[in-house]
Amino acid sequence: MNFLRIPALLLLLLCSGFVRRDAPVPPPREEWVSLFNGKDLGGWDIKITGFALNENFRETFRVEDGLLKVSYDRYDKFTNEFGHIYYRQPYSHYRLRMEYRFVGEQLAGGPSWDIRNSGVMVHSQSARSLTLDQEFPVSLEMQFLGGLGKGPRTTGNLCTPGTQVHMNGKLNAEHCISSSSATYDGDRWVRAEMEVFGDSVIRHLVEGKTVLTYEKPIVAETGEDVGRYLQGEWAQRIGTPLKEGYIALQAESHPIHFRKIELLNLKGCTNRRCPNYKPQYVVSGPCNCR
């Protein structure tokens, strides 16, 4: 008999206002998008030092077995062909994640510091804006380093071609800053993530753990780098905040594979009355209000 009374009791509570009919609903599912389709290099631009835009010298960048590969099997020797592959759409506020693994041996002629060395550049200048012989874009690099089997070698570090950042409230002018990550030896896959909030806070994560945090990136060069990156319009932007830009993957003389390159755009509509309202987003963007 008591079970028969439950529906009636619920109806009474609803009518009395004790049960909220406007209770908040769970936020929508995160809308991660794949930047790499696993089939070809569609949506990406290639720029290799000394070569024209989208001249993929000796097929340095290629897609095989569903992986985006940086390969040097068609080279005889590395002679400064530093390369990057750029996703064509710029972003400002987002989360980025991917997996990478170093494979094989470094190409002969590559610098000693480039053994098992690569990375992803964010807030980068576009591929089209690089000069013919420019080695690295103005950007913030999450540097990937593979272990060498002889002691610690952190990954997820920060390098700053044409840029500087603030840490702990102070400007840090070092070109490369080490993270607190573990060392990953061998050819294993490593999961890397970034949380990028415009010219505010940026975090590096490796295997789900935050290993480096910095803020307020600016356009700048110091010491021997003066004039190396900041040419043309960039020379006029010295000291200004670096708020957005392109995403680029590196080719630095050691073979590396990438997969599961995905992005969650954190810039969207924050107006609750709009059909494309997305409450998990943190920055106001275009809204579709009718």
Among the listed residues 281, 252, 269, the one whose alpha carbon sits nearest the alpha carbon of residue 82: 252
258, pLDDT greater than 70: yes
Residue-level pLDDT at 57: 98
Query: pTM score, two decimals?
Result: 0.87
User: Is pLDDT larger for residue 192 or for residue 286?
Assistant: 192
78, pLDDT greater than 50: yes
Report, at the CATH architecture level, how domain 25-284 is classified. Sandwich (2.60)
In the chain, what are the domain boundaries? 25-284
Indicate the pLDDT class of residue 270, thresholds 50, 70 and 90: confident
Q: Do residues 173 and 166 make contact, with C-beta atoms less than 8 angstroms apart?
A: no
Q: What residue type is assigned to position 205 of the chain? A: L
Residue-level pLDDT at 281: 62
- Strands (DSSP E) contained in 125-234 are 140-145, 157-159, 163-167, 170-172, 176-177, 190-197, 201-206, 209-219
280, pLDDT greater than 70: no
Q: Tell me the mean pLDDT in the region 256-273.
A: 90
Residue-level pLDDT at 14: 46
Calculate the alpha carbon distances from 152 to 145, 157, 176, 209 in Å: 11, 13, 16, 17
Indicate the pLDDT class of residue 199, thresholds 50, 70 and 90: very high
19, pLDDT greater than 50: no
Burial category of 139 from C-beta neighbours within 10 Å (exposed 0-12, middle 13-18, buried 19 and up): buried
Percent of the chain with pLDDT over 90: 76
Q: What is the mean pLDDT of the chain?
A: 89
